Amino acid sequence: MNKPLRIGIAGLGTVGSALINLIDRKQELLRQRCGRPLEVTGISARDKNKARDFEMGAMQWIDNPVELAKSDNIDCFIELIGGDEGVAKDCVVAALNAGKHVVTANKALLAKHGVELAALAEKAGVLLNYEAAVAGGIPIIKVMRESLSANSVERVYGILNGTCNYILTRMEDEGLSFEECLADAQRLGYAEADPTFDVEGYDTAHKLAILCSLAFGTQIAADEIYVEGISSITYDDIKAAGEMGYRIKLLGVAQMTDSGVEQRVHPTMVPINSSIAQISGVTNAVAIDADIVGQLIMSGPGAGGDATASAVAGDIADIAKSRPGHQHGPALGTPSEILQSYKKARMRAHEGGYFIRLTVVDKAGVFASVATRMAEQNISLESIVQHRGGKNDNNSPDTSTAQPIIMITHETTEQAIRLALENIETDGHLIGKPQMIRIEK
């Protein structure tokens, strides 16, 4: 067991560089805890001549990362390239087929090809580890794949994107618009130049698909998730939520229902005194409802070089501790050949109902008409408030006639809400688009 674990790393950006420095800095501690040294023997990236904050030393540079993945000079291949196709997939497939253990931080790759890659790992008798692919430094994959083996999970949900959580936090704390907060997030490096993947919920959806498979033993089905982002959220929504005792968060939710698995990503109003509501800034949080342990909630940094490198290093340490010939647990918690086909549930009524904000023309009878249209769809209202003198939040050219109406419904269906809103629009009362946010209690 004193033979070094030889590591090949493809992708030397923020995370790859942080990982190499971490292994060097924590070399003695890792040797003690793993029972043998960790040694980076090979590296690959697009530009060999780019300045980096680590010494290459005796590491072998290999231009083609696929060749690194198959190299006899490594035992474990680390994929930090990114992307769901192309060289990232080719590398991982090549490494698994060559009998190499694989660690990846690539959520997009796993969301699209995770079942296929898990099957390859099981066939080769090697480990496929991916702790860093979901929630950064939070060890949620290990908890779900190993620690909760005796539990049946009923629901897993959480804040899985730090960019969105940062924007919503700033909007609430400082009264800023979505656009102002997004620009600041881009300036600070929390959001990409094209932020669509983050702010429209797709990043959260990829992570949720992986957690869903671990939770329920189903095949990964990232394309079956209802996805809605935060770009439509305004400060008026956040302010109204606070006045009613709620806070808005972008949540990914997966739960087992009588009709199948329900997966959804959308802005959600949560009680302001709940644990999930306290998660601010770029922090992530994941909650699990299980039959034996009850509810678990874990929070921590969801991104960043050091946090992600820490998760990757933990996966490498697990590989270093494993013994040759030892049978490894399945990559997705359940052997790939017995993963159940994904059955999409009907979108059910959400406990706690909906928050609805309408901007309507300011004239007699509109308030009563709106309430009537809700009643026609058997929607019971917990509260309905009409604010006088409110600003038009929907960019109407005539702001003098705009008045906001805010409603909280009891439990109902999304179909009923949408039918009621269509009828209100037909009546000619709406200015701009209505806002509808689910409430989770």
Residues marked as catalytic: 207
Element (H, E) at 315: helix 305-321
Query: What is the rounded CA–CA span in Å between residue 320 and residue 91?
Result: 21
- The CA-based angle 43-44-45, given to 5 degrees, is 135
Taking only Cα atoms into account, the Rg of the chain, rounded to an integer number of angstroms, comes to 24
DSSP state letters, 49-87? TS--SS--TTPEE-SSHHHHHH-TT-SEEEE-S--SSTH
Beta bridge partners, 337, equal none
Hey, what are 372's tokens?
A: 């009537």
The single-letter DSSP state of residue 337 is G
C-alpha closest to that of 334 among 157, 224, 209, 213: 213
Beta bridge partners, 286, equal 158, 298
Residue reference for tokens 């490494």: 95
Residue reference for tokens 């709940």: 274
Hey, what are 340's tokens?
A: 């159940």
Query: What is the rounded CA–CA span in Å between residue 152 and residue 291?
Result: 6
Beta bridge partners, 60, equal 42
Hey, what are 183's tokens?
A: 């620009």
DSSP state letters, 255-307? EEETTEEEEEEEEEEEETTSTGGG--TTEEEEEEEETTTEEEEEEEE-SSHHH
Query: What is the rounded CA–CA span in Å between residue 284 and residue 382?
Result: 31
Other Cβ atoms closer than 10 A to 173: 12
Query: What is the rounded CA–CA span in Å between residue 395 and residue 245?
Result: 27
Which string of b and e fits 44-53 if b means at least 16 CB within 10 Å? bbeeeeeebe
Query: Is 233 in contact with 190 (CB distance < 8 Å)?
Result: no
Query: What is the rounded CA–CA span in Å between residue 419 and residue 358?
Result: 14
